[in-house]
Amino acid sequence: MPLTHQKYLQYSPFFVDATEMSDLDWERLNTKIDKIPQTLADFLVDIKVSEFIDALAQKYIQLSVQGPDMARLIRDVVIRDIFIGDIPKEISDRLGVDQTLAREIANLIISQLFTPIIEDIKKVQNERYPGRLPAQSQVSGVRVQGSGQSGQDPKPVAPPSYAKASEGTAKHYQGEELPESGGNIIDLRSKS
């Protein structure tokens, strides 16, 4: 079932706070968006992102009323307000879930939602947080973590490739869903 217009606006990383933001905050947000690659700006308004967040909210009942918070978190990573490696901590803090569930949700976001735009995300993250990402982190060098869960809940589905996805990224995501028992995660921590 397609999202309603209201749910799209509620789960869109771009529009989530549009009606509550002051004019100054709205201008600040748009200034930040103007500084990121167009592929990332397009990602923020793509309906597939809202659908992914809706699927997460349906799959994890704890998140059923926290879709807008997920949209804000995704937006904050894309516009460089949050370091991508801090997603599990931010999910736990913002949504009030335990670290295990936070890591599982972060794995889904990074391995499914961010896959088509991961190179652009790494680029803007390296600009904002120099030295925090490994120099040669690769999409193909993913680490699989099992969650030990199996169920028939709907799984989030990644959006299509955004403009200039890298060869490695395009090969990684080909429309199939990752197994629920272990989504891939990119190890972005320093190896030192």
**Does residue 151 or residue 71 have the better pLDDT?**
71
N residues, the chain: 192
What distance in Å separates the CA atoms of residue 87 and residue 91, rounded to the nearest whole number?
Answer: 6
CA dist 116 and 119 (Å) reads 8
SS3 83: coil
State the DSSP code for 113.
I
**pLDDT greater than 50 at residue 158:** no
Burial of 26 (0-12, 13-18, 19+ CB in 10 A): middle
AA identity, residue 9: L
The pLDDT score that the predictor gives to residue 125 is 94
Tell me, what's the pLDDT at 63?
Answer: 66
Domain ranges of the chain: 5-186
Q: What percent of the chain has pLDDT over 70?
A: 67
Lowest-confidence range among 56-65, 91-100, 116-125, 166-175? 166-175
In Å, how far from its chain's centre is CA 106?
Answer: 8
Position 42 scores a pLDDT of: 95
Averaged over 111-120, what is the pLDDT? 94
Rounded CA-CA distance 144/113 in Å is 16
Half-sphere exposure of 169 (CA within 13 A, CB side): 24
pLDDT tens, residue by residue, 13-30: 999 988 898 999 999 999
Indicate the SS3 state at residue 168: helix
- CA-to-CA distance for 63 and 102, rounded, in angstroms? 11
pLDDT digits (tens, 9 = 90+) for 90-105: 999 988 889 999 999 9
To the nearest 10 degrees (0 to 180), the angle between helices 38-45 and 118-128 is: 110
pLDDT at 168 over 90: no
Which residue has better confidence, 157 or 9? 9
- Whole-number pLDDT of residue 57: 86
Position 58 scores a pLDDT of: 85
Q: Are 47 and 8 a contacting pair, CB within 8 Å?
A: yes
